[in-house]
Chains A and B, each alone.
Chain A
Amino acid sequence: MAARIQMPKQARHGELIEIRILIQHPMETGYRHDDVGHLIKRNVINAFSCRYNGEEVFRADLSSGISANPYLQFYTVAEASGEIEFAWIDDEGKQGLERQSIAVKA
């Protein structure tokens, strides 16, 4: 699952940083039928979380009704240099994981 992430590589301590993530996913609603009339099984990203140096700073429970290729935008406070980890899972159990590092100056 491809994803695009946009966030600052550097920040000052205590600065509010914006994080944007766009994940490629069909977000199949479970309400659609295929060409021969069979119901297409629901397959959406149902959980997304963002951890900053191991601590959860954002989480979202998604369901059908969220468009394909979901785009999330949220904020956190730059506390320390380290790693921000993005993890998500869909109904088929497929997991996505991305990491970005951030340098925080005093």
Chain B
Amino acid sequence: MSPGSAAARFLVAALACTAAQAQERGIPLDRLKSGSAFLGADLRDLQADDFANPGMLWVERGGKLWREPAGKSARSCASCHQDAETSMRGVAARYPKIDPASGKLLNLESRINLCRAERMGAEALRHESEELLALTAYLARQSRGAPIGVDIGGVARAHFESGRAFYYRRHGQLNLSCAHCHEANWGRRLFAETVTQGHPNAWPAYRMEWQTLGSLERRLRACLSGIRAEMLPYGSPEYRDLELFLAWRAQGLPVEAPGVRR
């Protein structure tokens, strides 16, 4: 085979792949809307105000924790990663991501805990603990404005497919899939709320209903509870697979963390 034809074949394969991906999108790229587009002006302003945004309380704490030594190694996050404002720029926008060493799919929370276990000799931080939320918010904040772009190739593909299956599967007593609300009915009213497209780009976010900052997993659990489905325990692999699918679905939207949501 000549090099030219190999290149042509590659191009054809690449085009086929893009076309397939374009068809796969539940919401076309030009109609993608971040959750903030469905908020009232007051909450949008609150999110945009870097001082008054209550999520910044956690970001600030996360910045302190970043430099605080922990565990047997007496090392801090900064001992390896130095200044997060440069080293972590855009990183959160690429999560969930496959850890090359273990081949496991990691979200930000599990990445932090893996680092603590393997590099710092520290105990894992509990889900929704103030510390884990603070570090996650701090990391995600460093990617503010960066477009979400996750890798769904290779080992990640199986996770992506499982996440997609979860998304389109009916759950719970109300027998609804995620798509019934967030693809078929976004922009319409559900009681007093406007149904959003359900993108993960603002998480962890400060949710008014909770009066505190919460993780994306907590938000997914709230959705499951809303459709009267069984909530999977925190840290279940199903959530991470779903997070990967959601991130792919939101591809191109800028990270807004820490967001403010209803």
Interface: B137 (CB within 8 A): no
Interface: B156 (CB within 8 A): no
User: Are A71 and B57 in contact (CB-based, < 8 A)?
Assistant: no
Interface: B51 (CB within 8 A): yes
User: Are A4 and B60 in contact (CB-based, < 8 A)?
Assistant: yes
Shortest distance between the CB of A65 and any CB in chain B (Å): 12
Shortest distance between the CB of A49 and any CB in chain B (Å): 21
Write the chain A residue with the least CB distance to B54.
A69
A: residues with CB less than 8 A from B are 2, 4, 6, 20, 22, 24, 26-27, 67-69, 71
Write the chain B residue with the least CB distance to A67.
B211
Contacts A20-B51, A71-B52 given: A4-B211 contact, CB under 8 Å? no
Which A residues are in CB contact (< 8 Å) with B60?
A: 2, 4
Shortest distance between the CB of A8 and any CB in chain B (Å): 13
Q: How far is the CA of A68 from the CA of B60 in the complex (A)?
A: 17
7 additional A-B pairs beyond A6-B51, A22-B56, A27-B211, beta carbons within 8 Å, are: A2-B61, A4-B57, A22-B52, A67-B208, A68-B212, A69-B212, A71-B54
Which A residues are in CB contact (< 8 Å) with B52?
A: 20, 22, 71
Q: Which of B54-111 contact A (CB under 8 A)?
A: 54, 56-57, 60-61
Write the chain A residue with the least CB distance to B56.
A4
